[in-house]
Amino acid sequence: MTYLMAIDSGNTRVKWGLHDGCSWLKQGDVAQDKNVLLRQEWQDLPKPLCIIVSNVANTIAKTMLSELLSCWEAKPKWITSLAYQCGVRNNYTDPSLLGSDRWAALIAAWELQQQGCLVVDVGTAMTVDALSDTGEFLGGIIVPGFDLMKKTLTTNITGLQNQEGEFHDFPDNTADAIHSGTIQALVGAVERMSTLLTITLGHVPECIVSGGGSRQLKSKLRMNANMVDNLVLEGLVLIAKENSRIMV
């Protein structure tokens, strides 16, 4: 059996999965500063023949991840965004500067939809990226995610830092106002991008939502939205399959 290790190293978490070419055998999700846990989760896994990584964290995180991966003989492939890959054309001014996680997610979304759609990843930041009906990445936006937006608002307000708040259409206290405002802001960004893409495509696009805040966002969207867990990992498998006959 041939195994592929796919890793999505983000700003705050490392998501990973072991794939056998047909399905996921095991997946995990660990905070960036919990390398001991990551080592424990990997120690009993079958040896992967191929390792593919999307890393958008800092160089320290990359170095630490490299050290962990050295327990296997396979050399990790650290992906960068290309001008064209797996049926998707990258219209970024400099294709290589598009985050590798966004690129992998776009590739996975195109494989799923095969038509124009919005690709939304709700993590530390929220990205909303647009795909055309011919597989072109038209561009996208980046805004702070739920936690980052809240933190920005409450950093200098000691009394609100530990208050979660609840969602209301018309909040009547500050904690609820901040919580509701962050949700409304992110929902508004997605729905605005949907309106713009609808005009461009001539039809209403589907929306694919992934990331830690996907459920919270999807519950408030007034549009067709499908949640896909670990969209970046799915894209990494597709990239690995295109780049190597090992996984085909």
Among 19-23, 77-81, 129-133, the range scoring the smallest mean pLDDT is 19-23
Q: State how far the Cα of 213 lies from the Cα of 172, in Å rounded to an integer.
A: 24
User: Is pLDDT of 179 > 60?
Assistant: yes
Domains and CATH numbers, the chain: 4-78 (3.30.420.40), 84-231 (3.30.420.40)
Span 217-226, mean pLDDT? Answer: 91
**What is the rounded CA–CA span in Å between residue 97 and residue 32?**
22
pLDDT digits (tens, 9 = 90+) for 23-74: 999 999 999 888 888 889 998 899 999 999 999 998 899 999 999 999 899 9
CA–CA separation, 33 vs 25, rounded Å?
25
Choose the weakest-confidence range: 31-45, 71-85, 118-132, 174-188. Answer: 31-45
Between the alpha carbon of residue 97 and those of residues 81, 93, 125, 158, 191, the distances in Å are 7, 8, 17, 38, 26
Question: Is residue 131 a contact partner of residue 179, using CB atoms and an 8 Å limit?
Answer: no
**What residues are labeled active site?**
101
**pLDDT(245) > 80:** no
pLDDT of residue 228: 94
